[in-house]
Amino acid sequence: MTTATAVLALLISIASLAFGIYQYRILHTVRVGEKATALLRLAHDIRRKSQDLEHTIDSTDYAEDQTEFLAKVNQLVEVQVARLATSKKVSLATLAEAERVLLGLELELELLHKQVAKLGRFNEEVRAHEKATRNEA
Any domain includes 50: yes
Q: Which domain holds residue 59?
A: 33-136
**If pLDDT is split at 50, 70 and 90, which confidence band does 137 have?**
low
Mean pLDDT of 83-96: 88
Query: What is the per-residue pLDDT for 64?
Result: 82
Query: What is the per-residue pLDDT for 11?
Result: 94
59-83 pLDDT, tens per residue? 887 778 888 888 888 898 888 888 8
How many independent structural domains does the chain possess? Answer: 1
* Residues constituting the chain: 137
Query: What is the per-residue pLDDT for 97?
Result: 92
**If pLDDT is split at 50, 70 and 90, which confidence band does 108 have?**
very high
Phi/psi region, residue 99 (left: phi>0; alpha: psi -120 to 50; beta: rest), is alpha
Any domain includes 99: yes
12-61 pLDDT, tens per residue? 999 999 999 999 999 999 999 999 999 999 999 999 999 999 988 888 87
Any domain includes 130: yes
The pTM for the full model equals 0.78
Query: What is the per-residue pLDDT for 59?
Result: 84
- DSSP-derived letter for residue 43 is H
Any domain includes 52: yes
With a cut of 80, say whether residue 1 has pLDDT above it.
no
Q: How far is CA 2 from CA 6, 9, 10, 63, in A?
A: 6, 10, 12, 84
- DSSP-derived letter for residue 60 is S
Any domain includes 24: no
